[in-house]
Amino acid sequence: MSSHLEPSLPHPAAAASARRTLSGIPLGTALKESLLKLRPSTQVRNPVMFTVYVGSMLTTLLWIAGLFGHADAGTGFMFTVAAWLWFTVLFANFAEALAEGRGKQQAAALRGLRTTVIARVVQGVPAGTPTTAEAYRGHVAERPSGSLRKGDIVLVEAGGTIPGDGEIIAGIASVDESAITGESAPVIREAGGDFSSVTGGTRVLSDWIIVQVAANPGESFLDRMIAMVESARRQKTPNEIALNILLVGLTLVFLLVVATLLPFSFFAISAAGQGTAIAITALVALLVCLIPTTIGGLLSAIGVAGMSRMMRANVIATSGRAVEAAGDVDVLLLDKTGTITFGNRQASAFHPAADVLARAACLASQADETPEGRSIAALAARQLGQAPEAAAGAVFVPFSAHTRMSGVDLANRRIRKGAVDAMQAWLAEQGAALPEAVARAADDAGRRGSTPLVVCDGRAALGVVELKDIVKPGMRERFGELRRMGIKTVMITGDNKLTAAAIAAEAGVDDFLAEATPEDKLALIRQYQSEGRLVAMTGDGTNDAPALAQADVAVAMGSGTQAAKEAGNMVDLDSNPTKLLEVVETGKALLMTRGSLTTFSIANDVAKYFAIIPAIFVSTYPQLGALNVMRLASPSSAILSAVIFNALVIVFLIPLALKGVRYRPVGAASLLRRNLAIYGLGGLLVPFIGIKLIDWLLVVVHLV
């Protein structure tokens, strides 16, 4: 592909800005959005704030009527109450607009990563699997990348941009994925195994690959990323819906209570023979101050901000449901290969180190396109001087995740290579058993943390191939943190029990499942779910896809296959399995933020009760003046102070709603005590102080 046909990718710094929350959100844009959100069709989506919205319109109409001599209170008082009620609605809109602004900026930056390239579509794939790019060049036709469809096959060579998401079906290449992941170091992508997935917009730095397109235009990974961060696509989570129902219930209760106060006021005046009727403006002010306007105004912003914080951690969540569920996860299942370990298992030794074993292992690996299979062939070639070739008429048996073996059938020989238990079953079918020496060699390799593979020629077990893998650094510490958070970690692997136990001990996981098939993974997840536990899983391979689809929280590695990413409800662009720690912390922080602000909002009502109730009834019942514990200047000052505080507190809590309450890995009881001490007690005390200060300022500036 000629370089002049392709636009250059954005600088990695631009990609980084797309993936992380942008701090410089224009306030002017947020203010404009706040005004646009005053449409009734928008306000009605939030019942609590819609109540404030209706109250604002009612007090405004009462003020206008007062200007024409039909007032039940002073026009200045009515104007001030109406103005601050509108401010309350605007501040809530502003909080939501700020949170949405982050998502919109992220989406805009991601759209800047889109590139239109000229794709080299292979028309009529050459027979066999050519090993050189030259074999494909005579079969290509150039087309714009926007015209590609799922199933199209394209050739991408060094310097070319991959035109769309897909799977590599031939070749190997070094790929620059910095535009998507922000990681400047190139990665190796090759056909077969769990590292065959490529993302449109990334660049091939060396060699060549044949890619089968896996997504139609508008359905690519980048398109899904944009859709995920667009606040317009956010759906309310179950907990958010439940909290909304609670808030609506509280609003209805206070609405009924306030509605009865007007006839009660007439009755009280008649019975006491003194006093004045409660002004409707004062009743509206009381209603707005008593209903949970603080959490009602910030609820949507909290949800949007949770998605944004997940994006900042380089994790793309499909919905807020996944983020919220992460906060309740108590079981974490991790695939070993590529997740706990680096996943690049390489053949390191033959036991015994005999030419006959090396030759048979190499022949049995010819149909094994996994990196492990190719490493076995490479090790055998080094030991023998050259790779042996199968005789004419050989029938190859490709590697399968279900059989966990590969091999070749020759004229009078059946050679197989696979996992120890799989080969034991294969030998048993032929009336043979695994020799003690071979079993001991496999056990020894397993105790070293390596993966043993047995090679058989007919009924004879020739020996063991040892595969080495390396545990990623820092795993034990991170799993320790998960344990303190009350999360059980379970490693899942197809390795034998000895190897699995060695890796599990080194990584520090709580439990493991060895010799696991895709069906075993599914069964384990369903077992935990049947016990009422929320299960999270990370994975990167096609064989992980069914389990990822079953899990409550499924984090697919960005370096994994397309099938894994499609099955997951989150994608980790850093391909770091311990990233689930950040995912869980973000989920818990989301739940804690919502709970903390709800506690604060409800606790606020106590102070506002002591401010407004005495004010509206003191003319009828002077004894209620004893409830004026804050010694507010006058009834009108008390009502105005409560209304102003009710509006301003939303502004002061916006940073907390966007940033979230910090989660600490402590028990639920400790978290509850802390929540009640800070946000419960704080919610009681702060309004008393705030309302008194506002009252003092109103008196100082002679507004009452």
Task: Please answer whether residues 268 and 622 qualify as being in contact, where contact means their C-beta atoms are separated by less than 8 angstroms.
Answer: no
Q: How far are the Cα atoms of 440, 455, 681 from residue 352, in angstroms, in the given order?
A: 12, 11, 72
Residue (of 703, 688, 698, 680) closest to 608 by Cα position: 688
Q: How far are the Cα atoms of 255, 533, 627 from residue 262, in angstroms, in the given order?
A: 12, 51, 20
- pTM for the full model? 0.66
Tell me what pLDDT residue 3 has.
35
Cis peptide bond N-terminal to 352, omega within 30:
yes
Task: Please answer whether residues 463 and 439 qualify as being in contact, where contact means their C-beta atoms are separated by less than 8 angstroms.
Answer: no
Residues 40-74 have pLDDT tens digits of: 988 998 899 999 999 999 999 999 998 888 877 78
Measured CA to CA, the distance from residue 304 to residue 97 in angstroms comes to 10
Measured CA to CA, the distance from residue 565 to residue 362 in angstroms comes to 33
Q: How far are the Cα atoms of 437, 536, 632, 641 from residue 693, in angstroms, in the given order?
A: 85, 49, 10, 8
Name the burial class of residue 2, with classes exposed (0-12), middle (13-18) and buried (19+) by CB atoms within 10 angstroms of its CB: exposed
The stretch 573-588 carries a mean pLDDT of 78
More confident residue, 126 or 355: 355
Q: Is the pLDDT of residue 289 over 70?
A: yes
Beta bridge partners of 174: 188, 206
Mean pLDDT of the chain, nearest integer: 81
Please state the separation of Cα 185 from the chain's center in Å. Answer: 24
Instruction: Enter the tokens of residue 339.
Output: 């997740």
- Confidence grade of residue 8 (pLDDT, cut at 50, 70, 90): very low
- The helix or strand, by DSSP H or E, that contains position 580, with its residue range, turns out to be helix 580-617
Instruction: Enter the tokens of residue 246.
Output: 């609670």
Q: Which amino acid type is present at position 526? A: R
Q: Which amino acid type is present at position 249? A: G
Helix, strand, coil percentages, rounded to 5, for the chain? 55, 15, 30
Tell me what pLDDT residue 23 has.
43
Q: Is the pLDDT of residue 146 over 90?
A: no
Measured CA to CA, the distance from residue 415 to residue 390 in angstroms comes to 11
Tell me what pLDDT residue 59 has.
94
Instruction: Give the least confident one: 170-184, 547-561, 626-640.
Output: 170-184
The stretch 22-44 carries a mean pLDDT of 78
- The helix or strand, by DSSP H or E, that contains position 99, with its residue range, turns out to be helix 75-111
Task: Please answer whether residues 661 and 590 qualify as being in contact, where contact means their C-beta atoms are separated by less than 8 angstroms.
Answer: no
- Confidence grade of residue 225 (pLDDT, cut at 50, 70, 90): low
Tell me what pLDDT residue 537 has.
87
Beta bridge partners of 554: 537
Q: Which amino acid type is present at position 181? A: T
Measured CA to CA, the distance from residue 473 to residue 476 in angstroms comes to 8
**Other C-beta atoms lying within 10 Å of the C-beta of residue 68:** 8
Please state the separation of Cα 578 from the chain's center in Å. Answer: 13
Q: Is the pLDDT of residue 19 over 50?
A: no
Instruction: Enter the tokens of residue 308.
Output: 């944004």
Beta bridge partners of 175: 187, 204
Q: Give the phi and the psi of residue 59 in degrees, each rounded to 5.
A: -65, -30
Instruction: Enter the tokens of residue 611.
Output: 């401010």
Strands 187-190 and 166-176: antiparallel
**Other C-beta atoms lying within 10 Å of the C-beta of residue 112:** 14
Concatenate the DSSP letters of all residues of 524-572 into one string.
HHHHHHHTT--EEEEE-SGGGHHHHHHSSEEEEETTS-HHHHHH-SEEE
Instruction: Enter the tokens of residue 57.
Output: 């319109």
Residues 397-425 have pLDDT tens digits of: 888 767 788 899 988 889 999 889 889 99
3-state DSSP assignment of residue 132 = coil
Q: Is the pLDDT of residue 228 over 80?
A: no
Known catalytic residues are 335
Tell me what pLDDT residue 21 has.
35
Residue (of 543, 703, 535) closest to 634 by Cα position: 703
Tell me what pLDDT residue 570 has.
84
Q: Which amino acid type is present at position 386? A: Q
Q: Which pairs count as long-range contacts for 146-152, CB under 8 Å and 24+ apart, including other chains?
A: 146/116, 146/217, 147/217, 148/119, 148/121, 148/213, 148/216, 148/217, 149/213, 149/216, 149/217, 150/213, 150/214, 150/215, 150/216, 151/212, 151/213, 152/119, 152/121, 152/212, 152/213
Q: Is the pLDDT of residue 472 over 60?
A: yes
Tell me what pLDDT residue 129 has.
67
Q: Give the phi and the psi of residue 413 in degrees, each rounded to 5.
A: -140, 145
- Confidence grade of residue 511 (pLDDT, cut at 50, 70, 90): very high
Q: Is the pLDDT of residue 314 over 50?
A: yes
Q: Is the pLDDT of residue 88 over 70?
A: yes
- Convert 291-311 to b/e letters by CB count within 10 Å (16 or more is b): bbbbbbbbbbbbbbbbbbbbb
Residues 361-391 have pLDDT tens digits of: 998 888 887 778 888 888 998 888 888 877 7
Q: How far are the Cα atoms of 106, 110, 226, 474, 491 from residue 506, in angstroms, in the given order?
A: 39, 39, 39, 11, 12
Q: Is the pLDDT of residue 301 over 90?
A: no
First to last CA, the chain: 77
Measured CA to CA, the distance from residue 45 to residue 39 in angstroms comes to 11
Q: How many CA atoms lie within 13 A of 204 on its CB side?
A: 29
Tell me what pLDDT residue 56 has.
95
Residues in the chain: 704
- Confidence grade of residue 194 (pLDDT, cut at 50, 70, 90): low
- Confidence grade of residue 15 (pLDDT, cut at 50, 70, 90): very low
Could you give the percent of the chain with pLDDT greater than 90?
Answer: 15
